[in-house]
Amino acid sequence: MMNKYLLYLYRTTFLLMIIAMAWQTGMHLWMYYQGAYGYDYGCINEMLINYEGGFVRRGLFGEILFDVRSMFPFSVAHAIVIIYYTGFLSLAVLLVRLFKRNGWSLFILPFPMCMYVYLCDPYFLIGRRDCWLLLLAYSCFSLYHRYIKNGGGTLPLFLCNVCLIFCVLFHEASLFFILPLIVIHDFNKSYKQEGLILSIKRMIIHWGPVFITAAFVIFYHGDGEIVAKIWSSWAPYLECHVDESLIKESYMSRTLGGKSLLINIEEAWEVSWFPNIIGDIPVAPFNLYILACIYYLATRINLVDLKIYKLKIINEVSLSNSILIVFLFLLVYIMITCDWGRDMPCWVICSMAFYHFFKEIDDYPVFVTKISTRLQNSINRVALLNKDWFYYILIMTLPLGFVSASISSMFPCLPLQLKHLIVDGSFMIAN
């Protein structure tokens, strides 16, 4: 039976995390309405990417917003902020319902490994477009599950393709977090029944439209000329003057700066996304430590019971399977992005959402199940890893920073601004 004092500690920490989330959200909104987040702010201008300069990655949302704004007058910046927070609230409601339905402990939900890097970084309005991407991921998994449950059918397969294409056009991260789970599951299911050659053919037929779209997204990555055309298309609708400095210095310019995903992968080892932390501790080992900790924390989520509702038994091997599959592709994505902290919630939430629909071990490749079984058996043999107080200490001291491992990101129940005030005497705010 759980020690009552530990239960009070867990509940207090959970409440502090909710307060920290409210604090950080309030800081973002206050700074926005103080004028700190204009069209030169990356979280705003990234969402302006459209197809007015030609087809380009991440342009679908901006194109829809552009078409709506051309018909109705409204503040584009205000609309983007509203869309951000609508996505966050929708995802929060979905996850709470998902956790309760599956009997998962709510304890990890407000921590940065699930609920976004704005707890670790003051410069982000609700993780940019990530909340909507994860809502789309859940929709894709739901449609695919309906296709499997019905024993096939053209309509659910078509709808799943449409949803996946929307994800790819919305953000190329879906190629690493969403698409692999569905394609590997479908391939594995077909492989066990029809063999290698037919399963490959079936995979191409089933997901060909998504693969073609992904190829376009990889190669049509944009350049400076397209960036200028996009800004020019928005100029009549923005409450600011679009000049040359705004075009060149915007986050949009970096996003569409002429490098494809393939080029980024080739230059992966030259990218300095292992920069500085507070103190002289090497960063790379910490990142490996974070990956191992998040795997453990996600697969053992029910070690801490808040006694809010009754927890259920989890098939830890099956949950591990989905986590490992995403992890294999996550390693590639980590090399081509500096957004280290952003990748972790996508990894955890996509894996758990897929497990919600596909809990059976037979749904996954045999070699993945063997790895998961060995890892989980290893955890079972270590008594310390099965203690709720150890789980608590680990999640509170996890150095999950935005760009890399960071001591300043530990103890996430304290807002980042307060931690900087304690550490170096400065009240860190976005500017």
Report pLDDT for 271.
Answer: 39
Cβ neighbours for 129, distance < 8 A, ≥ 6 positions apart = 46, 47, 61, 87, 170, 171
What's the pLDDT score for residue 123? 59
Q: Evaluate if residue 63 carries a pLDDT over 90.
A: yes
Residue identified by tokens 């609230």 is 89
Summarised one tens digit per residue, pLDDT across range 20-34 is 888 878 877 887 878
Per-residue pLDDT band for 273 (boundaries 50, 70, 90) equals: very low
Residues 104, 314: Cα–Cα separation, whole Å? 8
Give the start-to-end residue ranges of the domains of the chain: 4-36+75-221+259-424
138 contacts 94 by C-beta, under 8 angstroms: yes
Give tens-digit pLDDT for 33-55.
Answer: 787 778 888 888 889 999 998 89
Predicted pLDDT of residue 256: 81
> How is 312-365 classified by DSSP, letter by letter?
----HHHHHHHHHHHHHHHHHHHHT-S-HHHHHHHHHHHHHHHHHH---GGGS-
Average model confidence (pLDDT) for the chain?
Answer: 84
Query: Residue range 139-153: average pLDDT?
Result: 91
* Contact of 332 with 265, CB cutoff 8 Å: yes
- Give the model's pLDDT for residue 102: 95
Position 367 scores a pLDDT of 93
Answer for the pair 295, 88: CB distance below 8 angstroms, yes or no.
Answer: no
Q: Give the model's pLDDT for residue 424.
A: 63
pLDDT of residue 61: 93
Condensed to tens digits (0 to 9), the pLDDT of residues 394-419 reads 999 988 877 667 777 788 887 766 77
Confidence of residue 279 (pLDDT cuts 50, 70, 90): very low
Is the pLDDT confidence value at 159 over 60? Answer: yes
